[in-house]
């Protein structure tokens, strides 16, 4: 079983902005899936950007930040190079990597910790499904970051034909929250790296958090 370790940002971080509507927030699974999709679709918009290469070779860091509808619209207008992902009622915007210590004020002031969405409707398994370690009781924001790690790690390992097949199918993403035993057992079928968290927020160091299972790329 391959493991991928989340590390502390060194230079570059990818911001992912998750819409958390104050009146009618989307469900948790839809928000997690939208954040993960926004992350990888931002990369697919410009994979030749040298910042992506430096980021992927470095800390592979992501920052999931929440915004209400007004602030979310401001982010979309201020960063035209964003990638917008919508899953059900959930919306998220992925941006290219940027220096963590000089992040624009509009993004830096958005909250990171404590992001929770209501349970909402589950997202059933799809031809590509992100499996999360449900025994860790991660917040929506933490789970979204781990899901994005897992999806991005799969994308970088999968090869162009598998990614193209996933894109042609409309980027389907399912979300499964597995118990500890089920998560460990299912990791044997992981199509890419199993994410191992550094444990700097919410969970214990070395906790395995997420992986992808998929039909794309099978022979």
The tens digit of pLDDT for each residue in 41-96 reads: 999 998 888 888 888 887 678 899 999 999 999 999 999 999 999 999 999 999 99
pLDDT in tens, 131-145: 999 999 999 999 999
Q: How far is CA 82 from CA 16, 94, 131, 169, in A?
A: 9, 6, 26, 22
Q: Strands, DSSP E only, in 145-206?
A: 174-178, 194-196
Q: What is the pLDDT of residue 218?
A: 60
- pLDDT at residue 219 above 50? no
Q: What local confidence, expressed as pLDDT, does residue 59 receive?
A: 62
> pLDDT, tens digit, for every residue of 169-180?
999 999 999 999
User: Which of 13-27, 93-107, 192-206 bottoms out in mean pLDDT, i.e. has the lowest?
Assistant: 192-206
Q: Under DSSP, is residue 96 helix (H, G, I), strand (E, B) or coil?
A: coil
Judge contact between 188 and 1, C-beta under 8 A: yes
| Run of H or E residues at 66 | strand 61-67
Is 191 within 8 Å of 212 (Cβ atoms)? yes
Looking at residues 19-26, what average pLDDT do you find? Answer: 95
């Amino acid at each position: 079983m391959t493991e991928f370790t989340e590390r502390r940002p060194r230079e570059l971080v990818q911001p992912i902005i998750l819409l958390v509507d104050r009146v009618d927030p989307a469900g948790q699974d839809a928000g997690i899936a939208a954040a993960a999709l926004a992350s990888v679709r931002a990369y697919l918009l410009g994979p030749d950007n040298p910042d992506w290469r430096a980021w992927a070779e470095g800390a592979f860091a992501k920052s999931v930040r929440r915004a209400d509808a007004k602030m979310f619209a401001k982010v979309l207008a201020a960063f035209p190079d964003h990638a917008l992902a919508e899953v059900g009622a959930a919306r998220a915007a992925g941006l290219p990597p940027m220096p963590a210590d000089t992040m624009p004020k509009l993004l830096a002031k958005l909250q990171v910790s404590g992001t929770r969405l209501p349970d909402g409707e589950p997202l059933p398994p799809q031809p590509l499904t992100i499996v999360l370690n449900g025994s860790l009781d991660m917040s929506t924001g933490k789970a979204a970051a781990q899901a994005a790690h897992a999806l991005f790690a799969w994308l970088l390992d999968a090869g162009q034909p598998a990614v193209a097949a996933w894109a042609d199918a409309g980027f389907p993403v399912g979300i499964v929250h597995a118990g500890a035993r089920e998560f460990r057992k299912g990791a044997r079928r992981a199509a890419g790296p199993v994410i191992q968290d550094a444990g700097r927020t919410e969970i214990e160091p070395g906790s395995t958090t997420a992986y992808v299972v998929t039909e794309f790329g099978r022979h």
